[in-house]
Structure 1
Amino acid sequence: MTTVAGRPAVGSIAARLERLPHSRWHVKVRFLIGAVTFFEAFDQLLAASALPVLMKEWHLTTGQATLAVTAGSVGMLLGALAAGWMGDVIGRVRTVAIGVAVTALAGLAVALSTGIELFALFRFAQGLGIGGVVPVAATYINEIARSDKRGRFVLLYEMIFPAGLAVATLVSVWVVPNLGWRAMFLIGALPVLIAAVLPRHVAESPRWLVARGRTEEAERVIAEIEAEVARSTGAPLPEPAAAVTQEDSARGRLRELFTGRYLRRTTVLSGLWFVAYYVNHGISVWLPSLYTRNFGLDLSSALVYTLLSNVTGLLGTLIVALLIDRVGRRPALVTALGGSALALLTLALTGALSGGQVALFASCTTFFVYAINCGLYLYSPELYPTRNRAKGAAFGGLWNRLGVILGPVVVGAILGSGGSLRLVFAQFAVVAAVGTVIACFAVETKGRTLEELNS
């Protein structure tokens, strides 16, 4: 094993991770981090599920309804920035645990809200946790995955996020009409239990430990992981690669994201994050209310139609997970964004005349958009070195949250001023088309180690 002053080099730690066969250890880690991600997704969509009831119960105006759904998004934006810094300084696992605790405790407070002002305040606090957990968790999963199967490994984990969205909608179909919207937020607070046990059962990223100069701890952690993998597979581990590209050991700085080769990566990535979530959240947040207000559907039918969109999104994520290591990141992103633009343009041209028609084409859109969203959680950490990986992923999350905020706001503004649904979907189609062009300039990362991409 290559050493520096008696300590393991970055390259050797990476090589030892790269040679690990898939095992129960990988399953355990993905399950625990995945449980966190599932509930973060569950909590993210709760405001949309509660909105039709809140509008009647509290007699909300369109502006107040927009505040209800965007307060959490503003918190997610700030949470992503803070967590990016924390993830690179105090560690991936500890940052995720803190974010989960914030999300859960704030969810309890939301459930006790007595008016739109308190609801928005506590949703903002909940957003701080949600925005911080997801990009850092994705960074961790990237760092333990093998380069040759990283796309499938990460995206099968990322399927948990759209699954959480789908389950949130499915549960709300029964819970909201029968137990009320507050019960949904109480369910969303359950992961506070996970926050307490996560650091004891999930080892810190060895790549991060080495990047922080904690090489002896990295050696201990990687040795424990190797022993657990060997026990679970019942076979000796293969030898690490003889030569592994090693990253520069300089300390991570935020400004590095905007210099040299990283400037192009950050620019393209920011545009992709904004487009994907502008379209995704702009549609998903308002769909239940559109079904009830514009087409006169009852709440249960509206939530069932919304569930259909989440299920097709889950299917799209599965397909891209199975194909992305073959076709590559750039072709997958271009195809998915182009498909989104086409589905939205078709809906705009046909006029959005019925709830069923909107449900059909909105589901076609989420088929592609969810694949983009999960693909970006794979792609973002690949583009940056370990010292800046969480910051880079979180900076993409900043643009993600700007899209999350502006998408619903624009829809609310169009509807509030008497604009048509045709205009709503036409502007989404234009934004998705712009994203398709941006994706053509994405750097391909297929099959390369994180160190090769950033050395």
Structure 2
Amino acid sequence: MSEAEELHDPARAAAAVRTRVPARLDRLPWSRWHWRVVIGLGTVWVLDGLEVTIVGNMAGRLAEHGSGIAITTAQVTTWAAALYVAGACCGALVFGRLTDLFGRKRLFMVTLAVYLGATAVSALSWTAWFFFLCRFATGFGVGGEYAAINSAIDELIPARLRGRVDLVINGTFWAGAAVGSLASIALLNTAWFATDLGWRLAFAIGVVLGLVILLVRRHVPESPRWLFTHGRAAEAERLVDEIERSVTARTGRPLPPAEGELTIRPRGPIAFGTVARTVFRQYPKRTVLGLALFVGQSFLYNSVTFGYAAILTTFFQVPDGRTGYYFAVIAVGNLLGPLLLGHLFDSVGRRPMIAGTYLLSGVLLFGTAALFRHGALDATTMTACWVGVLFFASAGASAAYLTVSEIFPLEIRALCIAFFYAVGTALGGITGPLLFNGLVSSGRPGDTTLAFCIGAGLMVAAGLVEAAIGVKAERLPLEQLAAPLTAVTDT
């Protein structure tokens, strides 16, 4: 019996559900309700940027006598960084699976709680092994956030705005990085805070801000798209009714008709075998694309985030307490990329913009490597070069998360985000800090130049992959890009 025949079979008709929920969500005008979603879900990246940057900048202080923790600078910039990323990979896979099973809302509350708890305990660290454990646990929560948040955002934001909103939200990491860089300058000033106190207060800042976000996040609803694919169609319809009433009350204008209907038949949990067949057999080119984008940006960003302070202190004799100024400038450049270029991903298109940003950042980094190798840069001009590189790289990196969150079916969306994040980050984000910091710590310009060229080569390679097999996803409904596994089609 075909799926269409099953739909009209009286014995099975009740199992099939027709819905206009996706079309109703995609035709909504931008409103205060959407701002609530963005603030509740997106602002956690500010916390992530804040903490990662502070930890990177406090490496030298943690290693000082009297810091209250027995640890070396190399351990902070290499092993603590790698364990943070390893925890994020594990957390993404665990929470990604749970997000698809139990819903976006339930899990994005749990992941934030894990993140906050681990961050708070990090402030109590007294020895290297405990600090490593805390960094792994913090990363575990962050990885879960990537899966739960990106899937929820893409399912709640209208298709015509999905690209720019997703890019800006992921780019806010750098707003936190800028704040973290400046905060580290004050917190590491021993005239204001004792050597063993300032770095502990840095973690406390993240906890306080996170608690505020947790309160706002309570008001963000479950994804109606997730609800109707999990046998809760009536609840999804009621939720969209409430959203429409809220939007209409704010705008004072009637909504246009929702065009497009989807028929689905809810099913039980998706087995890993089905997930593997969908990812590797049904969408093999998209799988290659996602891995290429993630490996390139992950190597570059995890290396720079955890290692730029070491470059400044090793080659340009910048004092530990002043590296935050330079990193704040880099963070602003990263933030401006998605803010200024984001709308082009919805208008010009995904493929030209993603390929262009990856390729431009790679070419500029090759140029930076050449200038550095010939001794033509100082701390200020090196930072200026990196601002140019990361202005484009930041938009491209944010687009990597956008890509994998919109080109796979809804029922496995969070797990797909988790898979690409975990594999790409394991290859680029764990090896990146280890290799990058190992080369930088040698003190030889040639070794650091090699590290730059590896990052540039990976970005260029990812850009070429996007140019060849990128998906035209701009302004298209998620269900048109990848039909839900529960969808019923007429044959």
TM-score where L is the length of structure 2: 0.86
Deviations 1:294-319 (A, max 9, x none): 21112343211111111111111112
Deviations 1:157-207 (A, max 9, x none): 333222122222222222232432111111111245247535641110000
- C-alpha change, 1:294 and 1:247, in structure 2 (3 Å) is farther
Corresponding residue to 1:203 among 203, 221, 224: 221
Superposition deviation, residue 65 in structure 1: 3.7
Superposition deviation, residue 236 in structure 1: 2.0
| 2:305 corresponds to | 284
| 1:424 corresponds to | 451
Q: 1: distance between equivalents of 2:144 and 2:459?
A: 26
What percent identity do the matched residue pairs reach?
29
Q: 1: distance between equivalents of 2:169 and 2:443?
A: 41
| One-letter amino acid of the counterpart of residue 204, structure 2 | L
Q: 2: distance between equivalents of 1:317 and 1:10?
A: 37
Matched, 1:223 2:241: yes
Q: 1: distance between equivalents of 2:434 and 2:476?
A: 39
| 1:122 corresponds to | 134
Superposition deviation, residue 367 in structure 1: 0.9
| 1:54 corresponds to | 62
| 2:146 corresponds to | 134
Q: 1: distance between equivalents of 2:166 and 2:39?
A: 12
65-74 vs 41-50, which moves further: 41-50
| 2:3 corresponds to | none
| 1:413 corresponds to | 438
Superposition deviation, residue 76 in structure 1: 0.5
Corresponding residue to 2:347 among 323, 326, 338: 326
Matches within 5 A, 1:27-426: 27-57=35-65, 58=70, 60=72, 62=74, 65-177=77-189, 178-179=192-193, 180-194=198-212, 197=215, 200-241=218-259, 243-244=260-261, 252=270, 253-351=274-372, 353=375, 354-402=378-426, 403-417=428-442, 419-420=444-445, 421-426=448-453
Deviations 1:38-80 (A, max 9, x none): 2233233332122121233446163564112222111001011
Superposition deviation, residue 246 in structure 1: 5.2
Superposition deviation, residue 282 in structure 1: 0.7
Greater C-alpha Rg: 2
Superposition deviation, residue 108 in structure 1: 1.2
The answer to whether the 8 Å contact 1:94/1:199 transfers is: no
Contiguous gaps of at least 5 residues in structure 1: none
426-435 vs 5-14, which moves further: 5-14
Please give the secondary structure, in 1, of the residue aligned with 2:30.
coil
TM-score where L is the length of structure 1: 0.93
Q: 2: distance between equivalents of 1:339 and 1:42?
A: 27
| 1:450 corresponds to | 478
| One-letter amino acid of the counterpart of residue 394, structure 1 | A
The answer to whether the 8 Å contact 1:78/1:398 transfers is: yes
Q: 2: distance between equivalents of 1:427 and 1:259?
A: 27
The answer to whether the 8 Å contact 2:59/2:73 transfers is: no
- C-alpha change, 1:453 and 1:246, in structure 2 (3 Å) is farther
Q: 1: distance between equivalents of 2:474 and 2:264?
A: 18
Q: 1: distance between equivalents of 2:250 and 2:439?
A: 56
Deviations 1:291-345 (A, max 9, x none): 1232111234321111111111111111221211111111111111111111211
Please give the secondary structure, in 2, of the residue aligned with 1:443.
coil
| One-letter amino acid of the counterpart of residue 189, structure 1 | V
* Matched pairs, number: 453
Q: What is the Cα-based RMSD across aligned positions, in Å?
A: 2.4
Q: 2: distance between equivalents of 1:7 and 1:247?
A: 9
- C-alpha change, 1:166 and 1:222, in structure 2 (3 Å) is same
Deviations 1:386-413 (A, max 9, x none): 1011111111211342222111111122
The answer to whether the 8 Å contact 1:313/1:366 transfers is: yes
442-451 vs 3-12, which moves further: 3-12
Deviations 1:97-137 (A, max 9, x none): 11111111111111110122111110100110011102321
Q: 2: distance between equivalents of 1:321 and 1:150?
A: 10
- C-alpha change, 1:346 and 1:223, in structure 2 (3 Å) is same
Deviations 1:216-246 (A, max 9, x none): 21122111111111111122222211x3455
Superposition deviation, residue 85 in structure 1: 0.5
Q: 2: distance between equivalents of 1:7 and 1:220?
A: 19
- C-alpha change, 1:160 and 1:388, in structure 2 (3 Å) is same
The answer to whether the 8 Å contact 1:176/1:184 transfers is: no
Superposition deviation, residue 376 in structure 1: 1.7
Please give the secondary structure, in 2, of the residue aligned with 1:157.
helix
The answer to whether the 8 Å contact 2:91/2:140 transfers is: yes
The answer to whether the 8 Å contact 1:175/1:184 transfers is: yes
133-142 vs 303-312, which moves further: 133-142
